[in-house]
Structure 1
Amino acid sequence: MAGIHLPLTQRRVPKSLAGKKAIITGAGRGIGQVIAHALYREGARLTTVSKTKENLEKLQKELPGINTICVNLRDWDATRQSLGQLPPFDILVNNAGFGRSGPFLDMSRELTDNMIDMNIKGTINVTQIITSGMIAAGNGGTVVNVSSMASHRSLSGHTVYAATKAAIDAITRNLARELSRHNIRVNSVNPSYVCTDMTKHIPDAAVEKLRLLTPTRKLLTSEEVAETVLFLLNGSVSSINGVNFLLDGGYTAT
């Protein structure tokens, strides 16, 4: 009825990604799991990818109706077999990654290969597959790559990991130019340290030193990363393209 206004708490707030088809890699745990929850909450029709079946089964119970794909993204051919026949998506979040810190001279071939295969080759492979589908469908799309602050600032023991994340940033910038003619935006989010299973091996003293060197004196949370991903996926910020979006509390500004 005209002239009657519902209280704010009773108004229906549209879900920002309602009906959008989204795929996220590395969704089984850590930051990826939180991003998956955020996309689901915003109404996305979600497909989640992880190499760990148990994590996907748990996620499926938490988020009824999602699709799950279990594949190790380090395996180029298996990834193409698993993802190559999927219908086109509107959104791709490349979150899957692997990292280990340690002295550069002690970094083994196995760890180096793991980081290169997952962080660089895995991202390239998945992005080729999914953006090819976006182009074929002709509806455009949005890609967000989860990178790291380590690509912007030297950190002790992070040489190989930082190199792979610098590659992700370069991929992001170049694809933003190359795919823009297909109405596909590509950005990255570059968080500082977030406490996850992948980072728990980092000594507490090093984490505390990072916190004290951060102007905000705060450590980042997975929820903050997820909210930034949602921001970059928002169609109302369509001019944000090719950006490496730092989430570091001002660390790299000092």
Structure 2
Amino acid sequence: MAGFSLIHSERSVSRVLAGKKAIVTGAGRGIGRVIAHTLYNAGARLTAVSKTKDNLERLRTDLPGIDTICVNLRDWEYTRQSLDDLPSFDILVNNAGFGLSGSFTDMPKEVTDNMIDMNIKGMINVTQVIGKGMVAGGRGGSIVNVSSMASHRSLNGHTVYAATKAAIDAITRNLAREFAPHGIRVNSVNPTYVSTDMTKHIPEAAVEKLRVLTPTRKLLTSEEVAEAVLFLVNGSASSINGVNLLLDGGYTAT
């Protein structure tokens, strides 16, 4: 992953999150892993959540002093048990998710259930627990949900996935209003294609077509998504609330 070694190897000079407590779901690999590194490098006291113990062990080696929670967010009750007794956080990044493209009429029930359970129900469950703690803590905070450009534009084979991401966008906007009186901002980032384990099944021809149709002629890196998340959770974005921030190189503007 391009640039990952830089994030891994040194603490950021600008520790804009020093003293802040952050929790990131889906932190074991892909975009979530880079978000975890980025927030840690910015000084946050990090709790990383993943369903894969080995990924968490490697992350703990890379980022000394972090806390880790191994839980499958599809398990509603065990997730609540795992998170209920945690202290209040200043930052929540709902990154965990699942996506698989394919014909709408042929999409298996188990795949559909997995996307709905992870992308919608899992995010709702985590945000209920952590959000309640934020409100009770009385310090305000910031929540960022990792959505997708697919919620804004139709893409071949992405109907069910896009529906789950559109739900995330709607939840983001409504929570922004509900949590605002408590000083908690809620936003989403909506990236275009990012090369990760989850997207490797997408044909190269489709990826290249997307790149050509993007005005900047470039696709996104995990590092760029992480930097957008960092911007939204720090003081520089104190007036940004209820935004679905497109990270698409201008694709949806054309």
TM beyond 0.5? yes
AA of the residue aligned to 1:83:
L
Q: CA deviation at 1:14?
A: 4.3
- Could you tell me which residue of structure 1 aligns to residue 47 of structure 2? 47
Q: CA deviation at 1:235?
A: 1.3
Q: Please tell me whether residue 218 in structure 1 is matched to residue 218 in structure 2.
A: yes
Deviations 1:158-178 (Å, cap 9, x if unpaired)? Answer: 000000000000000000000
Deviations 1:9-32 (Å, cap 9, x if unpaired)? Answer: xxx954100010000000000000
Deviations 1:128-167 (Å, cap 9, x if unpaired)? Answer: 0001001111111100000000000000000000000000
AA of the residue aligned to 1:48:
A
Once residues 36 and 14 of structure 1 are traced to their aligned partners in structure 2, the CA distance between those partners, rounded to angstroms, is 16
Q: CA deviation at 1:236?
A: 2.6
- Could you tell me which residue of structure 2 aligns to residue 169 of structure 1? 169
- Could you tell me which residue of structure 2 aligns to residue 6 of structure 1? none
Once residues 14 and 208 of structure 1 are traced to their aligned partners in structure 2, the CA distance between those partners, rounded to angstroms, is 36
Secondary structure (helix, strand or coil) at the match of 2:199 reads coil
Once residues 250 and 236 of structure 1 are traced to their aligned partners in structure 2, the CA distance between those partners, rounded to angstroms, is 23
AA of the residue aligned to 1:179:
F
- The unaligned stretches of length 5 or more in structure 1 are 1-11
- The unaligned stretches of length 5 or more in structure 2 are 1-11
- Could you tell me which residue of structure 1 aligns to residue 25 of structure 2? 25
Secondary structure (helix, strand or coil) at the match of 1:69 reads strand
Q: Please tell me whether residue 181 in structure 1 is matched to residue 181 in structure 2.
A: yes
- Could you tell me which residue of structure 2 aligns to residue 250 of structure 1? 250
Deviations 1:46-105 (Å, cap 9, x if unpaired)? Answer: 000000000000000000000000000010001000011100000000000000000101
| Aligned residues between the structures | 243
AA of the residue aligned to 2:76:
W
Once residues 190 and 208 of structure 2 are traced to their aligned partners in structure 1, the CA distance between those partners, rounded to angstroms, is 19
Query: Normalization by structure 2: what TM-score?
Result: 0.95
Once residues 37 and 164 of structure 2 are traced to their aligned partners in structure 1, the CA distance between those partners, rounded to angstroms, is 27
AA of the residue aligned to 1:116:
I
Query: Normalization by structure 1: what TM-score?
Result: 0.95
Q: CA deviation at 1:234?
A: 1.5
Q: Which runs of 4+ in 1 moved over 6 A?
A: none
Secondary structure (helix, strand or coil) at the match of 1:189 reads strand
- Could you tell me which residue of structure 1 aligns to residue 237 of structure 2? 237
Once residues 73 and 118 of structure 1 are traced to their aligned partners in structure 2, the CA distance between those partners, rounded to angstroms, is 6
* RMSD between aligned residues: 0.9
What is the 5 A alignment of 1:1-254? 13-254=13-254
AA of the residue aligned to 2:105:
L
